[in-house]
Structure 1
Amino acid sequence: MNRLKNSIRQFLLISPFMLIIPLINSCQIYSVIKDATDKEEGRVVMKDGTEYTGRVKMPKCNTKKLSIKTTDGQKLKLKSTDIAVLGVWKKTHTDKCHYLVAYPYVTNKMFSTKKEKIISPQWMALQAQGDYVEFYCCSYKYSIPKDGTLTITSVQNGNILFIARKKGDENGRIIGYQGSGSKHWRTSLINYLSDDPELCRKLENKEIEPDKLQKIADLYNPKTK
């Protein structure tokens, strides 16, 4: 998590016009995209500190190699697992930068007793970030229509997932699905964030709604022994 924060901080410092961009941009979800292309402006920060800027082919969730044509004309394919953070924006909307990362996560089927399994690294969009936990939105396709917002769409009968990842954890965990209801979200969050009893009490007593991810990220402070 510190690596992601440092990478985003490094990303902002390198691009002066990005300094006015909020750290978090909520992903807007639409069912149909008519005005988006599959290539956008982007900056890639690798885990080894190397950086690339240019035209990026927007990844799908399972994209293993990211394609970029750099500003100096190089055509590169970068392994998703070597990338610390990808920032993308519409050329006409430099004030709206969106951050994508590729992380593995733990899942099981909703309302199922099947065993959990680890899903290999998938591209997901940063939704909220605190000192000890981050939240992401993940589904099949990412694109940016002409208004500059990030659009996330699923395939037919697919899910739009919301994933939490604690500081120091390699894997994230699904905490809800679009349309799964606040009761399911609340229960998942209380189970996942059980090492912060005070926050869980507020969630259980409905002092905090489970979709207020930035507020939850800001408040979450695990009690270590």
Structure 2
Amino acid sequence: MSKYYGESEKMLGKVFNTANNLQDGAIIFLDEIDSLATTRDNDMHEATRRMLSVLLRQIDGFEQENRVVVIAATNRKEDLDPALISRFDSSITFDLPDQQTREEITAQYARHLTPNELAAVAAASEGMSGRDLRDICQQAERRWASKVIRNHGRNPMGHELPPPEEYLECVKKRRAALLVKPPEQGRRAMPGRGRWPPSVVV
């Protein structure tokens, strides 16, 4: 994006023209596509309207033999312009991770936890995303490091690394910050107000 009139559209056009001229093909990935391709209405800023117009023309202008693939990601598909959505061949929805996936994600950041401890953290974090789990693990490590420093380098409770209680406490704080409903017996917790819907690639 540029503050100068017409520069943003020109730069966007250059990206597509460069991809079109590559002999080996290219993949153009547009993250947060809703920031420049929202539904056209009277409140849309003129610059955004021009950017959307360029984007629609460029996608239409690709020829199949050029082997250029355009992928766009958004958390707010409902805000996208219908004309843009119609130019994509497929739409893929990525749901929030299930229990097993949450265990696997947590294991990537907290390798010292036992399978039972990972299962406990995963159960407590129902309704949260992979990014939430990453942030929870990082926050638990920071909290534990702070306790070690305040304890003059001696590990509290004899633990070298954060115990599962630290992760569970961080899950509780994250849940309160995100306004995600806690897991209920026999019911799948769903995101509450303030949570983004699952990511969508169109």
Query: TM-score scaled by structure 2?
Result: 0.25
Structure ranking higher in helix proportion: 2
- Structure 1-normalised TM-score? 0.24
Greater RCO between the two (CA within 8 Å, min separation 6)?
A: 2
Structure exhibiting the larger radius of gyration computed from Cα positions: 2
Structure number having the greater strand percentage: 1
